[in-house]
Structure 1
Amino acid sequence: MWRVDGRPGAAPPADDRGLAYGDGVFETVAVVDGRPALWPDHRARLARGCTRLGFAAPLERVDAEVAALAGQGDGVIKLIVTRGSGGRGYTPPTDAGPRVLARRGGVPERPVHWWREGITVHRCVTALAVQPALAGIKHLNRLEQVLARREWDDPGIAEGLMADTRGNVVAGTMSNVFARFDDILCTPPVADCGIAGVMRRRIIALAPRLGLRPRVRRLTWDGLARADELWLSNSLVGVWPVARLERRAWPEAAGARACIDALAAAGTIITPKGWHSP
């Protein structure tokens, strides 16, 4: 059940600018044993997104919603913050009050072998537009990802990788991407498009403990094919090793498994049922 401004079962009005224009931001937070994992990072990104869009983040209300929904056990909290109600036209109203929508749900069930053995990934045709004004934040307009996700219906394909209109690989439809070249762990910049993932940030900080040197570098499709390992990450799945992208297969993913173990030990991911490192 959704909560709207703290009211269970309520619905946002039809004049909400998030509904009309995608004028807002969202966060998807993993709840690990009753604790919202990486919440300071989610909270900071939400605040940056509101500031980028030009309205004040209602952080006290957001904090209250997270506290009310964290509960016990594992789960997922979805937060949406919109600019609030407004009339016709794109011009933001000066007197709009931000609206907070929140919901707790269960953990999506996915095959444990996606973590153990890796996933199959689709190369998306849909490209990400270069738009630095919106890059990095989780704004509500996800139409590029919607179009990309329509490109496959094979349940054996877990995710799709997207490049920008210049041909640089940026991210998955719902994930950030890492490529390991020997002891260098590369992830693309998100200054022009893409999302600055909270799990991406955590993996960059964790990499030296795994014997890896993190680097933010542009990646191409040809470059990915030369990588020793390919990983995808987000706050719900943690890390998925990639087993296949088009004709390229990666039979080994020791680095990804070590990263999963480290994230699980720190309590920052929901450990997949049946997970263990071979």
Structure 2
Amino acid sequence: MTAPPPRFRLFRGDRPLDALPSDDRGLAYGDGLFETMRAHRGDVPWWEAHWARLAQGAARLGLPLPDPAQVRAEAGALLAGDDAVLKLVVTRGSGGRGYAPPRDAAPTWLLARHPLPPAAPEEGIVLRWCRTALALQPALAGMKHCNRLEQVLARREWDEPGSADRDADEGLMCSTEGDVVCATAGNLFALRGGRWHTPPVDRCGVAGVCRAWLVPRTQAVVVRLSPEDVERAEALFVCNAVRGILPVARLGRRRWPPHPAVDALRRALADAHPGLVL
């Protein structure tokens, strides 16, 4: 009987670990970064873009990174030629109690493989508004850091007794100042006046890899959007590096039919990323 493939690999520096140390700063403080990537036949087509974002975040946090060649080799071995979701978590490593980071800690890093998500509905996804707001913190804005409690609170809203739109696929989050920032697990694009617009991520939110691919190709205007701007848009989509472009069919009472501009972008993305074929 063939053994099931491993689901994760854990390291400190370049050495394998059997378990996460109890004094790991990612566990204690969220002192780390992560990337969630779509793998196609054992490869990650956007590996360079993911690593570049990881390296930018690490530089801002003063976080040491493992050897990228070792990480990619271990990722390939873990994926074993399969289509999957690959998650890479890098923490500052072990440290004593207290917030002061150790000066010479070796990073702890974890690779985990997960099944692909289900395909999005052909007619598009359903969105809802989230009450939980994103705090303004420019020092952390754009990074995929390991503290995602705001998104956790927002996602819990689906399960509250009497919650409207419990069948929603995603939720839109605003900042504490009321401007629309993103979905709980993706970036937002809105077609207004025949041109694509997307919110900035300079005060909160994540600078998505798929968003970075789309902005220059759509010549999108990066501008703050109000909830009214979004609800009056000609078309909407949410995007991320795992699921690609997700057309929006409904948000509250507003409904959108399929839009040719969204369909064209999905075809272009499928040409660029073999894992995101339609």
TM norm. shorter chain > 0.5 = yes
Q: Indicate if the aligned counterparts of 1:132 and 1:191 stay in contact, CA closer than 8 A.
A: yes
Q: Which residue of 1 aligns with 2:180?
A: 169
Q: Which residue of 2 aligns with 1:36?
A: 44
Q: Indicate if the aligned counterparts of 1:244 and 1:250 stay in contact, CA closer than 8 A.
A: yes
Q: Which residue of 1 aligns with 2:217?
A: 206
Q: Give, in angstroms, the shift of residue 8 of structure 1.
A: 7.3
| CA distance in 1 between partners of 2:55 and 2:127 (Å) | 32
| CA distance in 1 between partners of 2:107 and 2:73 (Å) | 15
Partner of residue 92 from structure 2, selected from 70, 83, 86: 83
| CA distance in 2 between partners of 1:268 and 1:19 (Å) | 34
Q: Give, in angstroms, the shift of residue 190 of structure 1.
A: 0.4
SS of 2:169's equivalent?
Answer: strand
Residue pairs, 1:44-123, within 5 angstroms: 44-60=52-68, 61-110=70-119, 112-113=120-121, 116-123=122-129
Residues 140-189 of structure 1: CA deviation (Å, up to 9, x unaligned):
00000000000003663110000000101000010000001143111100
Q: Which residue of 2 aligns with 1:156?
A: 167
RMSD after superposition: 1.8
| CA distance in 2 between partners of 1:228 and 1:106 (Å) | 34
Q: Indicate if the aligned counterparts of 2:142 and 2:205 stay in contact, CA closer than 8 A.
A: yes
Q: Indicate if the aligned counterparts of 1:69 and 1:77 stay in contact, CA closer than 8 A.
A: no
Q: 1:268 to 1:234 in 2, by over 3 A?
A: farther
Q: Which moved more, 1:260-269 or 1:223-232?
A: 260-269
What is the count of residue pairs matched by the alignment?
264
Q: Give, in angstroms, the shift of residue 71 of structure 1.
A: 2.8
Q: Which residue of 2 aligns with 1:210?
A: none
| CA distance in 2 between partners of 1:224 and 1:186 (Å) | 10
**Partner AA of 2:271 in structure 1:** A
Residues 245-276 of structure 1: CA deviation (Å, up to 9, x unaligned):
111111232222211111112225433xxx4x
Residues 187-214 of structure 1: CA deviation (Å, up to 9, x unaligned):
100010000000001111322xxxxx31
Residues 112-134 of structure 1: CA deviation (Å, up to 9, x unaligned):
42xx2111111000000000000
Q: Which runs of 5 or more residues in structure 2 are unaligned?
A: 1-6, 160-164
Q: Indicate if the aligned counterparts of 1:163 and 1:170 stay in contact, CA closer than 8 A.
A: yes
SS of 1:35's equivalent?
Answer: coil
Q: Which moved more, 1:1-10 or 1:75-84?
A: 1-10
Partner of residue 183 from structure 1, selected from 194, 200, 205: 194
Q: Indicate if the aligned counterparts of 1:2 and 1:9 stay in contact, CA closer than 8 A.
A: no
Q: Give, in angstroms, the shift of residue 9 of structure 1.
A: 7.9
Q: Indicate if the aligned counterparts of 1:36 and 1:70 stay in contact, CA closer than 8 A.
A: no
Q: Which runs of 5 or more residues in structure 1 are unaligned?
A: 208-212
TM-score (ref. length: structure 1): 0.90
